[in-house]
Amino acid sequence: MGKSLWFSIFFDVGATFNFTKEFFADLSFGIGKVLTPSGFDPTIPLSITLGYTVIPQLDLGLFFGFNDLKGAKADARYMGLQAAYRF
């Protein structure tokens, strides 16, 4: 009663480039939509990652991205560190 239902859908495309066996860069972008009763507003995020494979099971990286490349929303940026462990 009075509650609205929201759905979201997102498609992501990326490419990873290996400069050497250990150093890599990843470029990722996509399109996402949140579907609400009032319509939908698509977002277009972009992320760039630079990483290093410490051991075959562990990657460390620094990433930078934009939450949405459309209009004034492109001012929303993020940056961080990441670790990926594969087992």
pLDDT tens digits, one per residue of 17-63? 999 999 999 999 998 887 776 666 788 889 999 999 999 999 999 99
pLDDT at 85: 96
Q: Count other Cβ atoms within 10 Å, centred on residue 59.
A: 18
Angle at 51 between CA 20 and CA 76, to 5 degrees: 140
74: alpha, beta or left, given left = phi > 0 and alpha = psi -120 to 50?
alpha
Position 11 pLDDT exceeds 70: yes
pLDDT at 71: 67
More confident residue, 53 or 9: 53
Q: What is the mean pLDDT of residues 56-83?
A: 86
